[in-house]
A and B are shown apart, each in its own frame.
Chain A
């Protein structure tokens, strides 16, 4: 039992003990307050490591190629942003690069650091800082939106020329699945329960998390 306040409506309540995979919702506003993890942090780490590798493949391989009037062209994710920059749309290029490359890369990096640091208890305090950064990167990491955008672009261009999807596109598809899997597997509460407090004391409830 833990007393918490709902993040969306501030209602004070006791979080009941949950069965694995169970969820608790706020009785007033229906927000999901907590869920009992069924997976270990190691599974989240495995998924994040895979995501890191797939991310590198997705960003270094050509996304799609085009053949028209006897010529061939192809582009990568960064290449798309760079072309916008070259065409004078500097701010748009930065926004695209941020949402398509920088935010997902930072998310993966911060998560990797958090999950690796958690393997050697007690988790140092800076892990919390990293987790906060990962959290703030998450809404800006838009792999799935980019994927849909690429598909729409492909269909639009298919009217004018022959286009073929490249390895990068399958990479982006893989990333979408991996990101979703990380979010389902990973429970930040597990980290917060085991972390060293900012004010220097040891985690008061470390015994609870140690069993998992």
Chain B
């Protein structure tokens, strides 16, 4: 205990998540509000593991229809074409812009999938009380938090394609049901990343039990 680095929680201190003020709550079981900014104080984010799991599972379920259902259906001179996210990538690739195809593939397929796996991995290691490679896991968490917004790319691509190509009855594009599921995946994983508390990675298993309600 004496040689190990001391965390705020071990010292009975709470750091405000909004303004970073350290304070010692009068009643540790009811920390209340930050005296400086009035933000709610918590030892660790409330039910962090349960909430994050729920959001990750919901996102994983939405990920399937997001990729199977069409995101766009275009009508050109009476013939109808449906596009899923993957066929959109293939279209970009065959039409000669492979850098764009790669960007869309990374943003729409790899990032959401990678996020789901990464958050699940963080949750499992925290629940198993792992204490190894905490620094790497924290870095992974920051990456998930930073990169998540970019998967919204395809939603914007579809929106502006639909908005622009409205030359009824010759040529028009309609959104497919896949867009909704895809947007849901992005929003759910972003909230999941926000509800996960990275401090849990560093807490010793005994502290984790005590702090995480």
Contact = CB atoms under 8 A, between A and B. Distances in A.
Interface of A: 3-5, 7-12, 28-31, 63-64, 66, 68-69, 71, 73-75, 79-84, 87-89, 91-92, 95-96, 99-100, 125, 128-129, 131-132, 135, 139-140, 142, 145-146, 148-150, 152-153, 155-157, 159-161, 163, 188-189, 192, 195, 197-199
Contact of B22 (A3, A28, A63, A161): A3
Contact of B17 (A7, A131, A150): A7
Contact of B159 (A30, A96, A199): A96
A63 B163 CA distance: 11
Interface string B21-42: 1100000000001111111000
B179 interface: yes
How would you classify the secondary structure of chain B's contact residues: helix, strand, loop or mixed? helix
Given A83-B162, A95-B183, A95-B187, A128 B9 contact: no
A92 B175 contact: yes
Contacts of A149: 152-157, 159-160
A16 to B, nearest CB: 16
The 8 closest A-B pairs by CB, nearest first: A149-B156, A5-B8, A198-B38, A5-B15, A80-B163, A10-B7, A9-B202, A153-B160
26 contacts: A4-B15, A4-B20, A5-B20, A7-B20, A8-B141, A8-B198, A11-B5, A28-B5, A29-B135, A30-B138, A83-B162, A83-B163, A87-B174, A89-B180, A91-B180, A95-B155, A95-B187, A128-B18, A128-B36, A128-B37, A129-B38, A131-B18, A148-B103, A148-B156, A152-B104, A156-B88
A150 B187 contact: no
B134 A142 contact: no
